[in-house]
Structure 1
Amino acid sequence: MGGYGAAPTRADERTSLSTGLRLPYLAESPLLILLVCILVLQNLAVVPPFADLGGVSMKEKAELRHQWALEVADHGRAVAQWDRERTAHGVELAQWEWDREAWRKEVQGNRAAEAHRSKEAAEEFERGQEERRARDARERAEEERRRQALREAFQRERAQEEHERRAARDKFNKEWQEEDHRRQAVREAFEQDKEQWAKERKQEEQHRQDVERQRLGVYWSQVRRYEQCTAFGTRTYEAELLDIPGHLDWREVCEDMPIEFHGRRVNRPPHCERNKDGRVWAMWKIDFDEPECTLYWAPLLDLGCTDSDTGTRRYEARLMNLRHGDDWDAMCKTAPAIIHGFQFDHPTVCEDKDGRTGVWQVPDLRCQR
């Protein structure tokens, strides 16, 4: 033991635990030693007690001492267990520190190796890029020389082909005009006969259909006229088909029902439909006797030969007599024109510049190169 006031040793702590008291100062006073010895002897029932301590019997004291001894033993085992766990924790902590240091060294080594590999890969990639650029430059130069040779050969062949094409075109045009005159004469005679036959058959069929419809009672309602024109010389009309017998197919009846416009008979509507109410409607686009939808072109402007090698001359003209609400694009694309005695059913293209304008590209031998 140390001097007065010094910390007790583990041997002193074990001695104190055996009596249940911590007595670090027993060696300093003989009187205290004597009192402790008497108290121990009384607890062991060797010396009778000096006074009755609350009427506690010796048996109860023995049981209390036994219980206290068990608790002391449990405490000792708990302390020993805690010492073992603390020792194991220390070992585990040391192992964890060792593993962390090893992992850190491994990571540093991997990083250094990765940096080295990346550097080598970058150098290898750069060398490959330099070689590829040099190879590409050589290939481009070779390709350009080859293309230049092909262009020169193509230009020579094209000039020769163009000369041969012009000669063949002139010959073909002459032969085609002669053949066209012969075919036109035959076609006109055939068309006259064909029209006569068709007219007779049509009259017979119309008569038969009129008789059948009168028997069934089907008829058209009042025709409604659209105010806007839908094409050159063309206006849209619609009407409802009434009193269709229930046992007949409405579409078949509608598509076979004639009507008259401007005193001319139209055998069947081009379009029939039935709405949600079950009413059947038909629509016609009438392209005759519609003077309000007939437009005309302003004087043609000759803009000279086109820049392409097609051998065509460009003409332009403004479309006149358009009314508000008319579909100018549809009207333009269906408006005919006569240029130098030739009939054109519609312009080559329609443009919207300074008014609705039609553009024609007309073949012209003077524009061939």
Structure 2
Amino acid sequence: MSSNPPRSSGRIPPPSSGPMPSWYTNERQGTYSGYSNPPSYRSAASSRGGETTPLLKHQSDSKASGTKGTCLLIFILLLALMSTVVLLHLKPREVALDPLAKDRIRREWQREIQNHEAMRQGWEREREKERLEMVHAREGLEEDRREILQMREKLERDRVKEHQEIAQMREQLERDREEERREILQMREQMERDRQEEHQEIAQMREQLERDRETWAHECEAGKRDEEKKRKEAEDRVRARFAWEGLEANEHCLRYGARQYTARLSNVPRGYDPLKACTETSIEIHGVRIASPHQCEDQGCNVVVGHWTVDSGEPSCATHFSSFSDKGCTAKGSGLRRIESRLEDLGAGDDWREMCTTTPADFYQMHFDAPHICANWGLWGVYGIWEIEDRNC
């Protein structure tokens, strides 16, 4: 066997497409001497992937596949070398002494060389096929890259176009919004003008209505005044015919300085309220005009009688007290002194109690509207009694 070629890092470089060196041929001859059918290159290539394997990993995948193939080749060479060494140790004398054995060994070597050459040629074909596949894959990858680049350019153009369309849409939307804001502003201004005009119209209508009301009120007031005036004139004409007849004074005094008078109202037309006619008809007694009776009495059959209480010009009803008699203290320590006086000028039939309790008196520089007590002592007459304060009692 020839000497082994120099090795680097325990790895034999793969065969190239040119003529093989002698050391590479001798090494392959010694390595596969024990194998009749060397391993197929397709099995090693299939472990690295075929045509359907994606080629997007670039050189990293191809380097990994080359490393696996190199390791397998080194393992095969080492196994062949060990087999050769074993054979040489087992038959050293036969190789050295027997020419037939040498011829047999040479024939075996020749077969191995032929097999190796065939295998090498197969490997070369496989390598060339793989190279072509790699070229095609690279071309496909380049085509894919170009397509990706075109797709990226198309996407960029589409993105730019989309951005332009979006910008145009935004501009159009902004214009539409601005136009809408202007329209809304115009509508608001128009509504404000309409509202102001409506308020002005309402204010004018209110003013006109107020003027109409005032005019109507004035007219109504004037009409009422006219009606009232006419009614009063008519009533005055009717009342002008009213007259009191048969004025009579009561024979008895009503109270101190007062007497009651009565009279009948005449000329009251039918349908006219007699009591109203009574209260609206005045009379003159003792030169004093009295607007209406103190009491009106409807006796029926259109007969109305008026009653007056006259408290002036009635001297016959002016009773008085004569001399005042001091009767001393009412009781020891009472602080009151008793004064008595007889009531004078009391008419027969007059109410002595009413006349006494309404007759004033003046004594001891004091004025009393009426006695504190009135007493009727029969033949001795009616007396007024006063109990005045006196610190001496």
Task: Give yes or no for TM over 0.5.
Answer: no
TM-score (norm: length of structure 1): 0.40
The TM-score, its normalising length taken from structure 2, stands at 0.37
